[in-house]
Structure 1
Amino acid sequence: MKVNKIITLQLVASMLLIVGFASCSKKSSSKSASRATGWNVNGQKAASSKKQQAGPGLVFVEGGTFTMGKVQDDVMHDWNNTPTQQHVQSFYMDETEVTNFMYLEYLEWLKKVFPPTEENYKNIYEGASPDTLVWRNRLGYNETMTNNYLRHPSYANYPVVGVNWIQATEFSKWRTERVNEALLEKSGYLKKDAKTKDVSAESTFSTETYLNSPTKTYGGNEEIVLKGRKGARKAPKAGKDGKVTEEKNVYAQRSSGILLPEYRLPTEAEWEYAAAADVGQREYNIYKGQKKYPWSGDYTRSGKRQSKGDQLANFKQGNGDYGGIAGWSDDGADITNEVKKYPANDFGLYDMAGNVAEWVADVYRPIIDNEGNDFNYFRGNLYTKNKIGKDGKVEIVTKETMTSDTLSNGKIVVRSFPGQIAQVPVDEQETYLRQNFDKSDNINYRDGDKQSTRYYDFGNSSESTKKEKDGQEMYNSPKHNVTTDSLGKMVRKYDQSSKRTTLINDKVRVYKGGSWRDRAYWLDPAQRRYFPQDMATDYIGFRCAMSRVGPKSEKRKSARN
């Protein structure tokens, strides 16, 4: 018996020792060792997963598959909606349309940083300002909206209108910079309040500039761009050989997980998927039915007991009827309405039908080419890269090298600002022997390029037959030329050709959703229309989106009982 007890005690002691060694080795290895090499990388702890946080104003939209372009009616006979199965990656989208208050914040920042009184910057503020004259009508009195809609506090939370596609895109870029600037300040990588007190035309923040060349951010001001959190990094000491080795990784990087992806316009597929919100119709692994509107049912009025009969969107109900009879049954608005006045859809997004139609990122083509791609579909890719100067470093835009676009109405919109990295199209260095893309401009791929037109001779290799002649392009739209002379006067050269057959070209963009000016027909999320990217109206606004990085879902999934 004694012998058995001794053996048992020895076994227990040896097992405890093994467990102790194992836990010690686990502890020591989990602190800093790389799972790839076992090395202690820079004395840092092993990398841990970090979830992306939603940016200001954004709502998470979990991606999935859906039928794009499935409309219940086609009374216009556009034949531009062929149902296709598409998959959309998870992303974030603005809870509401961009409001007048949000856009005025942008304008005030531009006016402060780039004073319109200075010759170099005179076009920046004016080029970003919405066109308030879109409210005017030859046979209607709308001067109240012309004078008040953008700036009066009564309209502060109404969706901004009079903004063209280019202006909406530039607002999205500006929003990216301001959000990331605030995140870096909060994390201690930028001097506190520098974004308001120290900012100027020669001293601004750009996310890409910070990531590629931090010392050039804010004009190279080291008092603003801090080394390490709150500038806590000490100056490196000299080694035994007397040399001072500069410390690495003292600035925030993409791997820090602080900076967010860019704000941008949603793609058409993303917008339609988010508006339809078929997730609310899901039964196990199928959709119970395609919804006609962003809400359930085939009617525009609520069927719920508490709100029965209330209109679920702001739209034109009939000829001369923009809101209904005053009182009960009125939709609450004659023009646009304050955001969040109507119920959100199953993704938590407001006004995905009615109020204002919305710009999306895509260049318009009559057909969605799902044979070309059925994952994150988008037409409009223009691939660029950072411009490298003669010194081998990235080239920063200055007030002398700013670039701008002259719109069809003669208005000048600045597209690159001081402090940003200059961009150039990708070349054969990036495209050589690639199968996924072969040039910078992919707008016309499979629909609009030379190979798509009926005049292209596939059997003839001579260049003369492959050259596009006037009238033989895929989309033979008018080619106007509007410029400004040295005195700032508009020089207009209109296309007088009688051979033009379409208005579709590379500068028309898709807009989605119905507006306060539209009948219920256009409230169907699958309906699509197009408009020139440099023109604005009183019924098109926009909202921003942001790509999701990391896992597809926010929460762990569990099976339904």
Structure 2
Amino acid sequence: MKKTSLYSIISIMAVASFVSCKSKSGSSDKTGMAYNKKEYGGFTVNNRYKRGPGPGLVEIEGGAFVIGGSAINVPGQELGNYNHKREITVNSFYIDETEVSNTNWLEYLNWIVTNFPKDYEYYYNELPDTLVWRRPLSYNEPYVENYLRHPAYQDYPVVGVTWEQAERYCEWRTDRVNELLLRERGYMTSFKDKNGGTANAGATTASAGSQGPFSTGTYLNNQIDDKGKRAMKDLNPSNAGNGTGKNMATRNVRLEDGILKSAYRLPFETEWEYAALGLIGNTQYENINDNKIYPWSGLGLSSAKKGTRGLILANFKRTKGDYMGVGGSLNDKGGITVAVRSYTPNDFGLYNMAGNVNEWVRDVYRPGTFEAADAFNPFRGNLYLDKKIADPTTGKIAVDKYNRPVMTEALYAKKQTWAEKQAAATKPADSLKNAYADQRGFRDPQTELYGETTLVNDKSRVYKGGSWNDQALWLNPASRRFLQQDESSADIGFRCAMDMQGSPEIRSQGKPQFKNKPGKGFRGR
């Protein structure tokens, strides 16, 4: 997927270069006032925005499909192991080309020890549990010591990570990607200049002094003051001392500028299943020519191509005792996991969407989620959170010791009045009567029976895909299991996803379109 990576880089450069120049064209079709001009109030509009995926991601054009539909021809399915069949629609999104590898996780740990060398608790909490390899009747001790750190396994998927750790990795990755983008393009001080001109300073994010490390949410709230050589010009004429040219005041990049990437996150179950199936390769003019029961076409588990005929198409356990084939002719090439770029990618270009490791998704587990969930982007797991306000008058948000916004449970189902907002800051207890329902258990009495007739609760998270330790039954994209969000396993890893903003259609060239005159000044999508 080198083309995708190149496309990502080009997109970032194109957006960054355009916004730095400040579009000089365009005006409001409702007021006639020109955009991006100080004399007209300095209202800034990026009318040439071009989106693109963040590093490592592949774009997935969404659409309608039958969730659970791929299980139709799978023998031996048991109630609860597969999704309830229902037609739903998934919006377009981005997802990682590969699973997160050991090297990716070690990069995370290295950042922690570099920026917080004495915060031993932080480092310890993000260490994967390598003891997941231990078995009382199996000699797996070498993996306990070597699997995470030895270079022989550097491209293998990280395992032993909980759902909670995976979520925190996604948050960290968001901040590192956005910080690199801002510093490399000059909107913030470059890594080299920030660290006294040392040539290798860009290898990691060094400590940022009193402000703390970069956080996307804190930066967007103007609580990180770091302007680079090509910082955005502040066109607001009311700013004190706002001159012209080089003397003009500067500001932080805003969400409206279209420069920062959306947050990395775990994929929703519907997104993951849709991406794993890769039906785009079997679809023409909205007609699905052949359904799939695996991420590849056909009913078999081995390749039919001449050069690879007979080779297993995924890393899984063929029988209860056969993990890799016969010596001298190893079939799937792996006793445990294999490198994240193994086998043939599916029609979306995604590797190992069946086998190798199961993968965490974001959803809270319920057996019948999709019988009642919405038909557009169905998801169970919403616990609505808001940034905690430290000063309701200025809008300053509270941050933790890592300079990340402090998130609190949402108390209101709609926008508060100004008076309510001020009162909530001084008397939060008074507003609890309006507390928003925890949507994870919305209309669901099942958790009341936890420990009596069910092990499912609000911390039960879905994982999918099958693994090196599973038989073919679990390779079907519709299969699903659950584990507590604070537990881990030697056969569960993850990959990240990202929202796609704007039109769900990724490529319109060559497709029939209505010819509409665009609004004045608007050329992006």
Q: Map 1:123-272; keep pairs closer than 5 Å.
A: 123-193=121-191, 194=194, 196-199=205-208, 203-212=212-221, 214=222, 216-217=223-224, 222=225, 225-226=226-227, 230-231=230-231, 244=241, 250-272=251-273
Deviation, 1:476, is 1.4
What SS is found at the alignment partner of 1:531?
strand
Distance change (3 Å), C-alpha of 1:62 and 1:32: closer
Per-residue CA deviation, residues 470-528 of structure 1 (Å, 9 max, x unaligned), is: xxx654113xxxxxxxxxxxxxxxxxxxxx11100000100000100000110000101
Structure 2 CA distance for aligned equivalents of residues 238 and 126 of structure 1: 49
Q: Which moved more, 1:192-201 or 1:80-89?
A: 192-201
1:428 is displaced (CA, Å) by 2.8
What residue is the counterpart of 2:436 in the other structure? 439
Name which of structure 1's ranges 192-201 and 66-75 shifts more when overlaid on structure 2. 192-201
Instruction: Report how far residue 61 of structure 1 moved.
Output: 0.8
TM-aligned CA deviation for residue 388 of structure 1? 1.4
- Aligned partners of 1:35, 1:377: CA distance in 2, in Å? 37
SS at match of 2:25: helix
SS in 1 for 2:361: strand
Q: Distance in 1 between matches of 2:164 and 2:210?
A: 22
Letter in 1 for 2:440: I
State the distance in 2 between where 1:104 and 1:49 align. 38
What are the superposed Cα offsets for residues 384-433 of structure 1, whole Å, 9 maximum, x if unpaired?
Answer: 1121124633233243xxxxxxxxxxxxxxxxxx2112222211363789
Match of 1:484 in 2: none
Q: Which amino acid aligns with 2:230?
A: K
- Compared CA separation, residues 248 and 502, structure 1 to 2 (3 A): farther
Partner of residue 380, structure 2: 379
Matched residue of 2:219: which SS?
A: helix
Q: CA deviation at 1:52?
A: 1.4
Gaps of 5+ in 2: 1-22, 195-203, 418-433, 513-525
For 2:210 and 2:25, how far apart are their aligned partners in 1? 45
Tell me, in whole angstroms, the C-alpha distance in 1 between the residues paired with 2:24 and 2:180.
33
* Distance (whole Å) between structure 2 residues aligned to residue 196 and residue 378 of structure 1: 35
Count of aligned residue pairs for this structure pair: 450
Tell me the equivalent position of 1:82. 84
What's the counterpart of residue 103 of structure 2? 101
Decide whether aligned partners of structure 1 residues 438 and 65 sit closer, same or farther in structure 2, where only a CA change above 3 A counts: farther
Q: Is the 8 A contact 1:30 1:46 kept in 2?
A: no
Partner of 1:269, secondary structure, is helix
Match of 1:68 in 2: 67
User: 1:126 and 1:84, CA in 2 relative to 1: closer, same or farther beyond 3 A?
Assistant: same
Distance 2:278 2:102 in 1: 26
2-side partners of 1:192 and 1:245: how far apart? 24
Aligned to 2:476: 524
Task: Report if aligned partners of 1:281, 1:287 keep a CA contact under 8 Å in 2.
Answer: yes
Q: 1:426 is matched by which residue type in structure 2?
A: A
> TM-score, normalization: structure 1?
0.75
Q: Distance in 2 between matches of 1:263 and 1:182?
A: 15
Tell me, yes or no, if the aligned pair for 2:114 and 2:206 is still in contact at 8 Å. no
Contact in 2 for aligned 1:363/1:510 (Cα 8 Å): yes
Aligned partner of 2:98: which letter? T
CA-to-aligned-CA distance 1:288-314 (integer Å, 9 cap, x gap): 232011000011100112211111000
Q: Deviations over 1:47-97 (max 9, x none)?
A: 423121211111111111111012133625234532011111111111000
Task: Report % sequence identity.
Answer: 41
After superposition, give the CA deviation of every residue in 1:7-38 in whole Å (9 maximum; x if it has no partner): xxxxxxxxxxxxxxxxxxxxxx9934222211
The amino acid of 2:411's aligned partner reads D
Residue of structure 1 in register with 2:48 after alignment: 49
Distance of 1:360 and 1:322 partners within structure 2: 25
CA distance in 1: counterparts of 2:220 and 2:146, whole angstroms: 41
Unaligned runs of 5+ in 1: 1-28, 400-417, 454-472, 479-499
1:497 is matched with none
Q: CA deviation at 1:245?
A: 5.7
d(CA) in 2 for partners of 1:506, 1:92: 27
2-side partners of 1:42 and 1:73: how far apart?
Answer: 58
Establish whether residue 38 from structure 1 lines up as the match of residue 35 from structure 2. Answer: no
Q: 1:39 to 1:522 in 2, by over 3 A?
A: same
- Contact 2:83–2:370 (Cα < 8 Å) also in 1: no
Task: Give the CA RMSD over aligned residues.
Answer: 2.8
Cα separation, 2, equivalents of 1:303 and 1:388: 59
Separation of aligned partners in 2, 1:252 and 1:131: 38
Give the superposition deviation at 1:534: 0.5
Using a 3 Å threshold, how does the CA distance of structure 1 residues 285 and 388 change in structure 2: closer, same or farther? same
**Shift in alpha-carbon separation, 1:285–1:237, aligned structure 2, 3 A:** closer
CA–CA separation in structure 2 for the residues paired with 1:68 and 1:235: 49
CA contact (8 A) 2:205 2:213 kept: no
Change (3 A) 1:255 1:231: closer
CA distance in structure 1 between the aligned counterparts of 2:312 and 2:205, rounded to whole angstroms: 43
Question: Using a 3 Å threshold, how does the CA distance of structure 1 residues 559 and 197 change in structure 2: closer, same or farther?
Answer: closer
1:405-554 maps to which residues of 2 (within 5 A)? 418-428=402-412, 430=414, 439-446=436-443, 448=444, 453=445, 474-478=447-451, 500-554=452-506
Q: Structure 2 vs 1, CA of residues 333 and 394 (structure 1 numbering), >3 Å: closer, same or farther?
A: same
The separation in 2 between residues aligned to 1:528 and 1:324, in whole angstroms, is 26
Task: Find the aligned partners of 1:527 and 1:52 in 2 and give their Cα distance.
Answer: 33
Counting only pairs closer than 5 Å after superposition, residues 385-400 of structure 1 correspond to structure 2 as 385-390=386-391, 392=393, 393-399=395-401
The answer to whether the Cα contact below 8 Å between 2:361 and 2:462 also exists between their aligned partners in 1 is yes
Cα deviation 1:134-179 (Å, max 9, x = unaligned): 0010001111111100000110000000001000000000000000
Indicate the SS of the match to 1:297: coil
1:440 Cα shift? 4.9
Residue 370 of structure 1, CA deviation: 4.8
Distance (Å, rounded) in 2 between the aligned partners of 1:381 and 1:237: 41
CA contact (8 A) 1:59 1:348 kept: yes
| 1:244 to partner: Cα distance | 4.0
The alpha-carbon deviation at position 186 of structure 1 amounts to: 2.0
Q: Which amino acid aligns with 2:178?
A: N
Match of 2:14 in 1: none
**Structure 1 residue identity aligned to 2:142:** T
Task: Give the conservation status (yes or no) of the 8 Å contact 2:100–2:158.
Answer: yes
User: What is the aligned counterpart of 2:113 among 106, 111, 114?
Assistant: 111
Q: Which residue of 1 aligns with 2:420?
A: none
1:204 maps to amino acid: P
For 1:255 and 1:511, the matched residues in 2 are separated by: 35
Determine the C-alpha separation between the residues in 1 that align with 2:237 and 2:474: 68
Structure 1 residues 395 and 289, CA gap change in structure 2 (3 angstroms):
same
Alignment partners' CA distance in 2, 1:173 and 1:517: 29
Shift of 1:250: 2.0
Q: Secondary structure at the match of 1:510?
A: strand
Higher alpha-carbon Rg? 1
